[in-house]
Amino acid sequence: MNIQLLNQNISDAKSDISLVYVTAELLKKSKNKKALKLAGFSASQDSICFLHNKNTLVCGVDSFEGDDIRSVSSVAIKALKKTNYKSANVAIDDKALIFALVEGFVLGGYTYDVYKSKKEKSSLKNISIIYTKDDYKSAIKLFSDAVIVADATCFTRDIVNTTPEDLNPVTFAALAKKLAKENKLGCKILDEKGLKKENCTSMLAVGRASRHESQLIHLTYKPKNPKKVISLIGKGLTYDSGGLSLKPGASMVTMKMDKAGACAVLGMIKAASEMKLDVEIHAFVGAVENMIGGDAYKPDDVLVSRSGKTIEVRNTDAEGRLVLADVLDFAQDKVNADYIFDFATLTGACMVAVGQYTTGVMGHSSRLKHAVGKSAKASGELTASLPFNKHLKKQIKSEIADICNISNKPYGGAITAGLFLDAFIKEENKEKWLHFDIAGSAYTESPWDCNVYGGTGAGVRFMSEFLKTL
């Protein structure tokens, strides 16, 4: 499906069908009021009604805010894809809605059919957003950025949705290499030999029972005069079986998504490089598979992390933090960044705390949390801040090592995981770092907003928005 922005009069627009957005208030004044009433349409949010004899698709919204427009546009595109219309258009006079429309159409219309032998075909080939005002130049920049971010989100979704056999640490590294080549990024990859040289013992322990070698991937986007330097770190568990602390069968299903943080940071660097942002970006990915076997790491092991800190393992299912401990340490040694952000499907506890739709944000700098929260709001992604405190920090003390990989109490699991990562952030970087727990927001088995079954691409939209503000 092709999406374009046009600058013309609505009367000149040629499409098979036009989308019209109405609130309940506007519906009262509609010339199609009678027909819509007969159809049972009351313009409630996310309801749609085809008026085929008028070549119109009426879309109900609570308001003309981006969130409402994006949401109903996702419903509309799914319905349109099932019809025989070949082209559709929508006219707007507010360029602030361009992002919402593009995301609604591209993300809401996303499907993943790689493993289907029969692909569903759609007649819909073209969708045009008609901008009726004069300042087309600024509108086209907004439009092209929106398409880049939406495409990067789909790119992230595609990788998340790929099966653990097809997307293992080694094929993940190959995919990152391909992205680097296509987008002219720097690319360095450490295999297990390289990881040993770098003393990434904690990360290596997690991947030891896998038949695929663990990989540390480092991609770089370096514009000429960057305003800021950013390190993005992603948890890339291509599969999380739980290890010897094996997950129950039902909880293991969907654990291909445990690489979503890594997939998101690839999406972010892709978007930033395509938008040609003035920020230097380093994406670090720890790609590892957490499996069982005679060679598996064990509860009771003590690991010496790259930083030198020793970690008591009490649960091999709390593996993401063991991988991130080394990758965070590596990233801080290699790059002197202004901001360090990590993205990880780290804890089920985060979903319990904030729900399935929201990304948990942790860190020491209220100012930075506020700035990122503002970008998230503008992007339409949901985030919530989870506060650290000194009492929770005591819960990850160990009797025999420097720190324990699980908490000794059942509450505050998302925060104690964040505090575990904090132990691997150097003193001088404390205020520069934020941790994003995307365990809930990265994957869905039922559609919501512009998300469909599978990976959502969580993080890509809000981080792209934040990077633009720099």
> Least separation, in Å, of the C-beta of 303 and ligand BES?
16
Give which of Zn ion, ligand BES, none residue 267 binds (C-beta under 5 to 8 Å, depending on kind): none
Based on CB atoms, which residue is closest to ligand BES, 328 or 406? 406
CA 109, 113, 116, 118 dihedral sign is positive
The one-letter amino acid code at 109 reads G
Choice among 81, 222, 228, 247 that is catalytic: 247
- The residues, ordered by sequence, that sit 6+ positions from 157 with a Cβ below 8 Å of its Cβ are 110, 112, 263, 454, 455, 456, 457
Choose from Zn ion, ligand BES, none: what does 439 bind? Cβ within 5-8 Å by kind: ligand BES
Q: Which residues contact 335 (CB under 8 A, 6 or more apart)?
A: 229, 231, 282
10 Å Cβ neighbour count for 369? Answer: 18
Smallest distance, ligand BES to C-beta of residue 314, A: 9
State the binding partner of 315 from Zn ion, ligand BES, none, CB within 5 to 8 A by kind. Answer: ligand BES
Q: In three state form, how does the secondary structure of 273-297 look? A: HHCCCCEEEEEEEEEEEECCCCCCC
| Three-state secondary structure call for residue 190 | strand
H helix or E strand, kind and range, residue 59 = strand 56-60
Residues binding ligand BES (CB under 6 A) = 240, 258, 315, 317-320, 345-349, 406, 413, 439
Which is closer to Zn ion, CB of 124 or CB of 262? 262
b/e map 137-167, b = 16+ CB within 10 Å:
eebeebbebbbbbbbbbbbbbbbbbbebeeb
User: Which option in ligand BES, Zn ion, none does residue 348 bind, with CB closer than 5 to 8 A by kind?
Assistant: ligand BES
Q: Tell the residue number behind the tokens 């819909």, with chain if given.
A: 124
Output 299 or 447, the one with its CB closest to ligand BES: 299
Q: Which does 349 bind (CB under 5 to 8 A by kind): ligand BES, Zn ion, none?
A: ligand BES
211 is catalytic: no
- From ligand BES, Zn ion, none, which one binds at residue 457 (CB under 5 to 8 Å depending on kind)? none
Binding mask 36-55 vs Zn ion (x if CB under 5 A, - otherwise)?
A: --------------------
Q: Which of 103, 158, 198, 258 binds Zn ion (CB under 5 A)?
A: 258
| Stretch binding Zn ion (CB under 5 A), from 235-243, 278-286, 321-329, 452-460 | 235-243
Cβ of residue 240: shortest distance to Zn ion, in angstroms?
4
Residue nearest to ligand BES (CB): 348
**Residue whose CB is less far from ligand BES, 437 or 465:** 437
The catalytic residue among 235, 321, 432, 461 is 321
Name 126's bridge partners.
Answer: 2, 87
Pairing of strands 215-221, 310-312: unpaired
Q: Which residues, 6+ apart, have CB-to-CB distance to 46 below 8 Å?
A: 60, 71, 72, 75
Least distance from C-beta 245 to ligand BES, angstroms?
Answer: 7
Measured from the CB atom, the residue of 148 and 414 that comes closer to ligand BES is 414
Candidates 69-77, 205-213, 253-261, 401-409 — which segment interacts with Zn ion by CB under 5 A? Answer: 253-261
Select from ligand BES, Zn ion, none the partner in contact with residue 194, using the beta carbon and a kind-dependent cut-off of 5 to 8 Å: none
Torsion from C-alpha of 303, 308, 310, 316, nearest 10 degrees: -40
CB 88 within 8 A of CB 69: no
Q: How far apart are CA 252 and CA 239, in angstroms?
A: 9
Cα-Cα-Cα-Cα dihedral sign, residues 382, 387, 388, 394:
negative
Restricting to residues 271-330, which ones interact with Zn ion according to CB under 5 A? Answer: 317, 319-320
461 is catalytic: no
Closest distance to Zn ion from the beta carbon of 196 (Å): 23
Which of helix, strand or coil describes residue 343? strand
Segment lying near Zn ion (by CB under 5 A), choices 49-57, 100-108, 240-248, 378-386: 240-248
Residue 320 or 454: the one with the smaller Cβ distance to ligand BES is 320
Q: How far is the CB of 348 from ligand BES (least distance, A)?
A: 3
Under the binding rule (CB under 5 A), the answer on residue 237 touching Zn ion is yes
Question: Toward ligand BES, which CB reaches closer, 57 or 439?
Answer: 439
Q: Which of residues 58-87 bind Zn ion (CB under 5 A)?
A: none
455 binds, among ligand BES, Zn ion, none (CB under 5 to 8 A by kind): none
Least distance in angstroms from the C-beta of 406 to ligand BES: 4
- Residues 6+ away with beta carbon under 8 Å from 291: 209, 210, 211, 239, 241, 243
Least distance (Å) between residue 158 CB and ligand BES: 19
CB-nearer residue toward Zn ion: 149 or 353: 353
Query: In the numeric block, which tokens belong to residue 270?
Result: 């892709």
Which residues are CB-contacts of 260 (< 8 A; sequence separation ≥ 6)? 156, 160, 235, 343, 345, 438, 442, 443, 455, 458
Shorter beta-carbon distance to Zn ion: residue 320 or 363: 320
List, in sequence order, every residue forming a beta bridge with 91; answer none if it has no partner. Answer: 130
Angle between helices 460-469 and 136-161 (to 10 degrees): 140
Catalytic machinery residues: 247, 321
For Zn ion, the binding residues (CB under 5 A) are: 237, 240, 258, 317, 319-320
